[in-house]
A and B are shown apart, each in its own frame.
Chain A
Amino acid sequence: MADTSDTTPSVENIDDIIHGRLRLGVMAYLSAVNPASFPELVRKTGTTHGNLSTHLSKLENAGYIRQEKGYSGKRPQTLVYMTDAGRTAWVNYLDAMKELLQH
């Protein structure tokens, strides 16, 4: 009997938590600069504070990033860290993308 199951990778196999355009951008930037400040991420991604905050919450709820509120001198500052789980998810995401694009 022939195997009829489809093993071709598809877009649906990609981690949805990472694969929003903005979240993907944040993860990519944090893979090179870790931690990054909240204003730095706003500047780099070209989005608004509110939009970034919403997407960071999604990544944080998944355990991919961690936000640390503190002070830089007298000014409040939020630093965004990629967690170990986030790094693993990022590497898995890249592997999945590679597999998808190879087909």
Chain B
Amino acid sequence: MTEDKQNKQLLDDLDFAATLAKDGASTPLLGGRIGLMWGILLFFTFIMQWAILSRTLPLPPASLAFLWIGFATIGGLGSMILGRNISKIDGANTVANRVEQRIWMLFGLMMFSLFVGIVFNIAFFGGTVALFGFMVAVGFAGQGLAYGIIAHISQMKWLQINAYISFIPSTICFIFYNDILVYLIGGFTSLITIVLPSLICMKIERQNG
């Protein structure tokens, strides 16, 4: 093969490789549908919690336990099913997508560890149910942190803004953590800081085919 032909072949092969590398690297974040499910679930659960505690809904406070068990069950199963579908999508294992999967898993673990600690505190050390309001505030702060890291890895500026916005409800929820209003605030801010960015992620995913 002449040197000219070799060089042409080489450039052609490199172009092929570059196209594949770019194709892989440009895979959008795929967790939008999971975020959407959790956002909607949180919205309804927080609103229900507020409605029960404020007696807007004539249900006994004990029904809150069923509400949160339902939340955890639907969320857990939904994440498992949606996560399995996502793993079949080409590019599901880009660094950004792996970080996204991992960070939300750890976020869930963080919230669960807080929940267990609060339950034990209430049961044995005289804690009050107001501590669950504290969990809402911590949740939004953790969410801001998670979104911030994902935005940094995936270089998505709009998601970075959403990360900063998530810290605002965290402060507000902390102010009202011992008031049932915290659940109403939590519900509506879930729509802004979870449902909305999840819908945008899904739109970007659709645009990328």
Contact = CB atoms under 8 A, between A and B. Distances in A.
The listed residue with most B CB atoms (<10 A of its CB), out of A11, A28, A97, is A28
A43 B24 CA distance: 12
A41 B87 CA distance: 14
Contacts of A72: 84, 87-88
A36 B93 contact: yes
A89 interface: no
A15 to B, nearest CB: 13
Given A11-B6, A25-B20, A73-B84, A32 B13 contact: no
Interface string B12-39: 1110111011111101000000000000
Contact of A44 (B14, B20, B88, B92): B20
Interface residues of A, number: 21
B27 A33 contact: yes
A31 B18 CA distance: 11
Given A36-B93, A72-B87, A44 B6 contact: no
A88 interface: no
A44 B16 contact: no
A21 B13 contact: yes
Contact of B23 (A11, A29, A34): A29
A28 B93 contact: no
Given A32-B23, A44-B90, 6 more contacts: A19-B13, A25-B17, A29-B21, A32-B91, A72-B84, A97-B14
12 contacts: A11-B6, A11-B7, A25-B17, A27-B17, A28-B18, A28-B21, A32-B21, A32-B91, A33-B91, A40-B91, A45-B20, A72-B88
Closest 10 CB pairs between A and B?
A32-B24, A28-B17, A33-B24, A28-B21, A32-B25, A29-B20, A24-B17, A28-B20, A21-B13, A25-B20
